[in-house]
Amino acid sequence: MESESLNSEVLAAEAAVDAAAEVEAETPPAVAAGPERKRKKGGLKRGENLIGWLYISPMIVGILVFTAIPLIMSIISIFYHWTGSVGLFDPETTWVGFGNIKSIFGGLEAETYWKAVLHTFVYAIQLPVGLVIGLFLALAMNRNMKGVQTFRVLYYLPGVMSVVAVTIVWQALFKGDGYINGALGLIGIKPFGWLTTKVGAALTVNLLLIWKGVGYTALMFVAGLQSVSTDQIEAAKIDGASSWTILLKITVPALYPILFYLFVTGLMGALQMFNEPYILLGDGYGPGKIGMTAVGFVYDQFGQNDLGLASVGAWVLAFMIFVVTAIQMYVDKKREAD
């Protein structure tokens, strides 16, 4: 009896050990599960990062190829006489040190370059004129009139038209025997050299720029006018304020953020002017080279295979744009502080 009970106890113990072993085999250790899960999450995160880099790689390549590398080469080329027909670091490319910079500041090309800069500012005259015209057009279009939406579209059309197509049309209008002189002749006014005199050429280019940009300016002001407080305007009218006073004291201050934005971006664009005067006046830049702007000077130097001098002209222009923009930003911050 004792041997039988002993055998049954041994068998029960063996069964309990086997059951425990099966449970242990089926249940993975908690300690081992943590690192494995971390490895899986780490691999998944690395895979997501890789996919993300693949998505943005075309943009990175584009920035490197079309922006970063040309920018670095432009800075280096300032110190070389580089024709562009050979590599920048080719033995045929001559080191000139500060020669290109001296050429712009007091050297052979100084007069040409700074005249081009002066012409650039001449073509910036259209900016304040265009802002004033655009503001009054916006005030006219900000009314509940029949067909006002059609007028908005018509005024905006010049801004989306091809610069080349528009400029060729203006050539036909303003040339010596063009439609403008023809119309002036009908009322007894002698033909004017719109494209053959310095004053006429500068005036014609500025008129073209005003006509092309005033639609965009007006629509921006129309959008801004929606935020002008009608309560303030009504209160001013009750107090006997004139329309001119309301415009200067209420409307214009309310439109200041848009006005500032248009002026800053417009001046930056004006300082980079090239297409309109070049196409309108031809590659000779018109009488007295009045059509040559700072960008036109850079373009000419590239055409003459002097990439080093062209780079100096471009960097001087970039510095001027930076200074002008910084001054505008400073004035704006000072105004807000006051």
Q: Residue 2: what pLDDT? A: 45
Question: What is d(CA 338, CA 331) in angstroms, rounded to the nearest whole number?
Answer: 11
Q: Is the pLDDT of residue 41 over 80?
A: no
pLDDT digits (tens, 9 = 90+) for 197-213: 999 999 999 999 999 99
Question: Which distant-in-sequence residues (6+ apart) come within 8 Å of 200 by Cβ?
Answer: 192, 193, 194
Q: Residue 38: what pLDDT? A: 57
* pLDDT grade for 121, boundaries at 50, 70 and 90: very high
CA distances, 95 to each of 80, 82, 103 (Å): 4, 9, 14
Q: How many CB atoms lie within 10 A of CB 46?
A: 10
Q: Is the pLDDT of residue 185 over 70?
A: yes
pLDDT digits (tens, 9 = 90+) for 244-289: 998 888 899 899 999 999 999 999 999 999 999 999 998 889 998 9
Q: Residue 44: what pLDDT? A: 62
pTM of the complete model beyond 0.75: yes
Q: In the chain, which residue ranges form alpha helices assigned H by DSSP?
A: 2-26, 30-63, 69-77, 99-104, 110-122, 126-141, 148-160, 163-174, 179-186, 198-225, 230-238, 243-246, 252-254, 256-271, 275-281, 294-303, 307-337
